[in-house]
Structure 1
Amino acid sequence: MAERAQYEELVRQFSAFGAVKREMGRIMPADCHSGSAAVLTLLGRHGDMRLSRLAELLSVDLSVTSRHVAHLAERGWIARSPDPADKRSRILRLTPAGQTQLDELFRRTTQLLAERLGDWSDEEVGRLTQLMARLRDSFGEGRSTARPAPPPPHPAPPALERTTRTPAST
């Protein structure tokens, strides 16, 4: 197991990785924010699914997922149809326009990565890909191993004695 200092450095790197995500977000079309891109990507990867499954994969609340879906449906990028197994539920699927949008997102992000990682070797890019996939799997669904309890927080400072002042009587 890695030393605590290594995990602390990893936390710092994750925090700094936000800059990478922000730059990737800036290359997206104006009407396709990161939540929309995530929904399109998941539907492209996993195929048709219920809204509840999509929320699970996104790791966000159903109401947030529903807003993303409404945004995409308004643009014609996804379609919602009744679930044959449960008419109260809807099945979400990419439309041809949604697939075109997804292809454009992949084209833009691939181009950006090729520009920024152009001085990396094929081996380095492959290793990064492997490690990121492994990291994602470590946090992914179906992870059934019990997680250890987080370490206790640093001891709280002793409580300051509270004093009450009353106005002096005159």
Structure 2
Amino acid sequence: MTDTDRPLAPDDLAYRLAEVFDLVGPLYRRAQRKVEQDAPAQGLSVGVRAVLNLLRAHGPMTVPQMGRTQALSRQFVQRMVNDAAAQHLVEIVPNPAHKRSSLIRLSHEGEDAIDALIAAEHAVLRQAGGDLTEADITACVRVLTRLLELVDHVDVN
């Protein structure tokens, strides 16, 4: 086992993970800005896109479920659902499991819109090229997943 294959000591790990956070923040903000700049062409705000993507991945959900999944307030998610509904991208249907919390599902227009947006994003991401490997991406996803788990479960008090 080489030095780069050994688990890091806690202090070294903290330093390296801080480097990841220092990159993830600007990456997220720049990507969000790019989506907002392209929104007129796509007709989707970042928030509506998030709702459509969530429904595409998980199927019909309630607003509270979407909020919990994305760590967003129910009120914000409701506004995004309302915007999506006004554009006929989602449908609000009865929830057999809960009379007061309707299910939100993609409409055919919503499916077409999110599929087109994802295809456009994939066209851009294909340009990353370079020397990235499956192992690189797997490691990146593993690290980011671990950080999400940490943030969700750590007590800062």
Output the TM-score relative to the length of structure 2: 0.77
Alignment-mate amino acid for residue 82 of structure 1: P
Gaps of 5+ in 2: 1-7
Find 2:43's aligned residue among 25, 31, 46.
Answer: 31
Structure with bigger gyration radius: 1
Find 1:133's aligned residue among 114, 119, 141.
Answer: 141
Find the aligned partners of 2:20 and 2:88 in 1 and give their Cα distance: 40
Find the aligned partners of 1:56 and 1:131 in 2 and give their Cα distance: 26
Number of corresponding residues:
143
Alignment-mate amino acid for residue 60 of structure 1: L
Give 1:92 shift: 0.7
Specify the SS of the correspondent of 1:92: strand
- The equivalent residue for 1:73 is 85
Identity of aligned residues (%): 20
**1:79-98 mapped onto 2 (5 Å cutoff):** 79-98=91-110
RMSD between aligned alpha carbons?
2.5
Structure that is richer in helix per residue: 2
How far does the alpha carbon of each residue in 1:110-161 deviate from its partner, in whole angstroms, 9 at most, with x for none? Answer: 011112x03x23xx15345323432453325xx8x952547xxxxxxxxxxx
Gaps of 5+ in 1: 151-170
Specify the SS of the correspondent of 2:102: strand
Change (3 A) 1:87 1:5: closer
Alpha-carbon contact 1:24-1:109 (below 8 Å) kept:
no
**1:100-119 mapped onto 2 (5 Å cutoff):** 100-115=112-127, 117-118=128-129
Alpha-carbon contact 2:42-2:117 (below 8 Å) kept:
no
